[in-house]
Amino acid sequence: MREKTFYPRLALIQAADRECAWVIDPLAFSREEMQPLLDVFASPDTLKAAHAVEQDQECLYRAYGMTAEPVLDTAVAAALTGRGDQIGLSALLHKLLAVRLTKGHTRANWMKRPLPEAMIEYAAGDVAHLVEAAELLAGDLRRLNRWDWALALSAGFGEAARTEFDAGALSRKLAARSRMGAASYAVLRELVAWRERHVRERDIPRSWLADDGVLAKLAAARPKNAEELHNFRGLGSRLINRGAEPILEAIRRGEATPPEKRESPPREERPAADEAAALTVLKCFLTALAAENRVPLRYLVDDGALRKLLRGSFSSPDDLRASGLLKPEAVDILGEELVAILNGGRALRLVNGRAERR
């Protein structure tokens, strides 16, 4: 649970094997008492399965300083086997096993003790069929030669759980969107860093202080006093009334940065009109190709690589592989066809409302 906190609170652990399902109360046991279960989570000899594992990994890392590995994310496995991108667990189990999960407790207070029996049954039901579902998905992944790919994507969530928030990366992203000047960018960097310190110290959600858009607007306007802060929607009223000075100090620090020491804000490169049309065609082609291969396009190529592909020179899949713009699995799937379209050897047409390559 994390609706009212910055860090997630581990309230419950649901686990199952092929025969039994358990609901474990982490609030009732010390780290030492939990260690036998954590050893299973960390054992290289035991494959773990979880659905949309990213938040689970973050909870484990915050609570115990470890993540589960190796792990198969059944949401990733479903996407790589053509069963839908970002499909929910209930829908996936119905597709695979004709199982219908009970609903109604998703937003319940899982920190409550004792937990009502209905909530315990709901929690156990979430994992009771997960091993069987994972084994079916694993068979399909191996037949499609995508098993290692699925494991690598799943492992990335464990790595991400150990990564601290990059305030600089967020500042660069917001500046590129807003197309702000160097002075505003210096202020924005201070505001993002201030918010991060504040929410971590008080363990509250970022949105309780200010969302990203409000920080960008504050950096552009640079209010001088608490009264001027009231003109900004999105800043918590308690923060304005009791904590205006830290915000104003952050703004002043940014403004005090000497011009020669201000970093140039990044610019979001926008394609020319003719290039924009070509990018649209390329993305349509890749979308059709991804659908044909039953893989979400986002697993194959990101928007940032499209322009580089369009501007590059590629005569073979080996050229694509050497460029590093695509992952090896994407080159395996897209390589020949992508090279063909980049060199004018393929076209798209509509047939009965469907995109068709020719």
Question: Could you tell me the CATH number of the domain that includes residue 97?
Answer: 3.30.420.10
304 and 225 within one domain: no
- Indicate the number of domains in the chain: 3
157 and 172 within one domain: no
Answer yes or no: is 328 within a domain.
yes
Cα 322 to Cα 265, 305, 316, 344, distances in angstroms: 31, 14, 10, 21
**Domain boundary, last residue among 207, 229, 261:** 261
* Residues in contact with 47: Cβ distance below 8 Å, sequence separation at least 6, in sequence order: 70, 71, 72
Instruction: Give CA–CA dist 265/92, Å, rounded.
Output: 44
pLDDT at res. 353: 84
pLDDT at res. 242: 61
195 and 256 within one domain: yes
pTM of the model: 0.87
Instruction: Give CA–CA dist 110/90, Å, rounded.
Output: 19
Answer yes or no: is 62 within a domain.
yes
Instruction: Give CA–CA dist 137/17, Å, rounded.
Output: 16
**Domain boundary, last residue among 161, 190, 211:** 161
Pair type for strands 13-16 and 71-73:
unpaired
24 and 122 within one domain: yes
Give the range of the structural domain holding residue 131, as residue numbers without chain letter: 13-161
H helices within 205-327, ranges in order? 212-221, 226-229, 237-255, 273-292, 303-311, 317-323
249 and 292 within one domain: no
H helices within 162-272, ranges in order? 167-178, 182-202, 212-221, 226-229, 237-255
320 and 256 within one domain: no
155 and 26 within one domain: yes
Q: Where are the beta strands (DSSP E) in the chain?
A: 13-16, 21-24, 48-50, 71-73, 348-351, 354-357
156 and 83 within one domain: yes
pLDDT at res. 238: 53
Q: Tens-digit pLDDT profile for the chain (358 aa)?
A: 888 899 999 999 999 999 999 999 999 999 999 999 999 999 999 999 999 999 999 999 999 999 999 999 999 999 999 999 999 999 999 999 999 987 766 678 899 999 999 999 999 999 999 999 999 999 999 999 999 999 999 999 999 988 888 888 889 988 888 778 999 999 999 999 999 998 999 898 888 888 888 899 899 989 888 778 777 766 765 565 566 788 899 999 999 999 998 988 887 777 777 788 899 999 999 999 999 999 999 999 988 899 899 999 999 999 999 999 999 999 999 999 999 999 999 888 888 888 888 8
Measured between alpha carbons, how far apart are the two ends of the chain, in Å?
A: 50
Answer yes or no: is 268 within a domain.
no
pLDDT at res. 33: 97
pLDDT at res. 243: 67
Instruction: Give CA–CA dist 222/252, Å, rounded.
Output: 8
- Cβ atoms of residues 158 and 68 within 8 Å: yes
State the CB neighbour count (10 A cutoff) for residue 137: 25
